[in-house]
Amino acid sequence: ERTEILQWMSPVNFFERQADVFSTWQPGTGSWLLSSPGFREWETATGKTLWCHGMPGAGKTVLASLVVNHFESRAQKENIGVACMYLNHKEIASHTPSNLLGALWRQLVWGKPILESARAVFRNHKERETKVTLDEVQAVLISALAPYAKVYVVVDALDEYAEAQRGNLLRNLGTLGDSVNIMIASRPHIEPDYTIFPGLQSLEIRATQEDIRHYIKAQIATSEKLSKHVRARPELRDQIESEILANVDGMFLLAKLHVDSLTGKNTIKAVRVALHHLPKSLSHTYDKAMERIDEQSQDDKELAYLTLTWVANAKRLLSVRELQEALAIEPDTTTLDSDNMLDISIALSVCAGLVTVDQTASVVRLIHHTTQDYLNGIQPQRFPVAQTEITSRFLTYFGFEEFSTLPKKKDEQDELILEHPLLGYGQYWLSHAVG
């Protein structure tokens, strides 16, 4: 019954997202935040909220995961509760205020008995075949706070959450009580309401030069070509670091994209030429990434465009297997050829670092929400028939012989979707058809 209650209260699992984000953290970075006076004051206070704001690409999400890990390492010893939520514009449908508060509850009761009050709510609704209400989730969540001396809640990317729901979510967070300290990360233009969070503290997130330098060193070490180049010309390492640092203006994302643009260079001269032409803005950096995609072989370019078409236009995050099936669909065919299924790493390798996979959750996403904004902007020129392409492939897919007779029993339907996961995403095909 426990598993059933957890899933019923909220289908959203932030344990996986925390693990995936924290796995991208570069050891040795971010310590400036944990040791900053503003963070320490909030950490030791009671019932306070810290607003961490920063420009897009400053590294807010990874720092949020570092903060969660920081508290998790102390949780058992100090009897503190830790819960997080990672908001994402592609998960609005599942990220209702009720599901998000339920997700916090799931994290706080992990490894602990579920209180009878929560079981009673579950049984009552199960009998009536109704859904839990927001007020009930709030009450169950507040009950789960009681065993802890203190609870830390970390909310990432508030700016990506639907504006219509934002106030509702914040009001519920603001009434959790004095035992809860909340950290909210967002872009500067999304400021939490001071009437909901009196005494709100503010802290700017901006990647330090030391952190970016640390990151660049680590990326050079893991790049086969760059590591060979710097072994042959040791002074090249300093040049790479200084040129990138001069062009990122406190943005980790830019540093990542710049390093990505160098890893494929075959000669030391090519690296140096690229360093002299590093763009200073995100949009120009994305332009350069698209240029690298266009310079590939025709097969790789077509695969990159098809991958970006699906990932950028998907109505929700696609799983790895869903994307693999989508890419394997061939026009004018009547069955899915397993020999046409590709390893996801191949699709990632041709996309110039714009697409990534969450290993724990096994979902595919663009590297940043600014990547989505950029691709939306160039869609009329670069991807003018993206929705038509997806719709056409779905029509081919639905016509496969495998689906000529669909099962009526739910367990058989579930088995078919397990075998052909893109069927589960197929509910959105009409949204693509109407653009």
Q: Pick the last residue of a domain from 280, 306, 321.
A: 280
Q: How many domains does the chain have?
A: 3
**Lookup: tokens for 85:** 């939520």
Task: Round to whole Å and give the CA distance between 314 and 291.
Answer: 23
Dihedral angle over CA of 338, 340, 343, 348, nearest 10: -150
State which residues form the domain around 407. Answer: 294-433
DSSP, res 36: S
pLDDT for the residue numbered 24:
95
- 8 Å CB contact between 308 and 354: yes
The answer to whether residue 349 sits within a structural domain is yes
User: Is a pLDDT exceeding 90 seen at residue 72?
Assistant: yes
- My answer on whether 193 and 218 are in the same domain is no
The answer to whether residue 286 sits within a structural domain is no
The answer to whether residue 287 sits within a structural domain is no
Among residues 412, 435, 402, the alpha carbon closest in space to that of 328 is found at 402
* CATH number where 152 lies: 3.40.50.300
User: Is a pLDDT exceeding 90 seen at residue 407?
Assistant: no
Of 58-72, 110-124, 341-355, 384-398, which gets the smallest average pLDDT?
110-124
**Lookup: tokens for 150:** 């203190």
Q: What are phi and psi of 331, to 5 degrees?
A: -60, 145
**Lookup: tokens for 224:** 């086969």
Task: Kindly indicate the confidence band of residue 76, based on its pLDDT and cuts at 50, 70 and 90.
Answer: confident
Neighbours of 126 (CB within 10 A): 13
pLDDT tens track for 258-280: 999 999 999 999 999 999 999 98
Question: Cα 81–82–85 angle (5° rounding)?
Answer: 145
pLDDT for the residue numbered 386:
97
pLDDT for the residue numbered 170:
96
Task: Kindly indicate the confidence band of residue 408, based on its pLDDT and cuts at 50, 70 and 90.
Answer: confident
Instruction: Tell me the mean pLDDT in the region 205-215.
Output: 96
- My answer on whether 226 and 196 are in the same domain is no
User: Is a pLDDT exceeding 90 seen at residue 354?
Assistant: yes
**Lookup: tokens for 435:** 């653009």
Three-state SS at 53: strand
- 8 Å CB contact between 251 and 58: yes
Q: Give the pTM.
A: 0.90
Task: Kindly indicate the confidence band of residue 135, based on its pLDDT and cuts at 50, 70 and 90.
Answer: very high
Query: Which residues have a Cβ under 8 Å from the Cβ of 111 and sit 6 or more positions away?
Result: none
**Lookup: tokens for 38:** 């503003």
Task: Round to whole Å and give the CA distance between 301 and 307.
Answer: 10
Instruction: Tell me the mean pLDDT in the region 379-391.
Output: 97
* CATH number where 370 lies: 1.10.10
| Complete edge-to-edge strand list for the sheet that includes strand 180-186 | 80-86, 150-156, 180-186, 49-53, 201-204
User: Is a pLDDT exceeding 90 seen at residue 127?
Assistant: no
Instruction: Tell me the mean pLDDT in the region 155-164.
Output: 95
Among residues 167, 86, 172, the alpha carbon closest in space to that of 133 is found at 172
The answer to whether residue 285 sits within a structural domain is no
Instruction: Tell me the mean pLDDT in the region 201-220.
Output: 96
User: Is a pLDDT exceeding 90 seen at residue 370?
Assistant: yes
DSSP, res 314: -
What is the DSSP annotation of 150-188? EEEEEEE-GGGS-HHHHHHHHHHHHTS-TTEEEEEEE-T
- 8 Å CB contact between 66 and 34: yes
The answer to whether residue 37 sits within a structural domain is yes
Task: Round to whole Å and give the CA distance between 113 and 19.
Answer: 23
Task: Round to whole Å and give the CA distance between 324 and 208.
Answer: 38
- My answer on whether 254 and 173 are in the same domain is no
**Lookup: tokens for 8:** 């019923």
pLDDT for the residue numbered 129:
86
The answer to whether residue 41 sits within a structural domain is yes
- 8 Å CB contact between 407 and 413: yes
- My answer on whether 106 and 121 are in the same domain is yes
User: Is a pLDDT exceeding 90 seen at residue 1?
Assistant: no
Q: How many residues does the chain have?
A: 435
Task: Kindly indicate the confidence band of residue 90, based on its pLDDT and cuts at 50, 70 and 90.
Answer: very high
Dihedral angle over CA of 365, 278, 265, 232, nearest 10: -130
Instruction: Tell me the mean pLDDT in the region 132-152.
Output: 96
Question: Cα 7–358–162 angle (5° rounding)?
Answer: 65
pLDDT for the residue numbered 435:
79
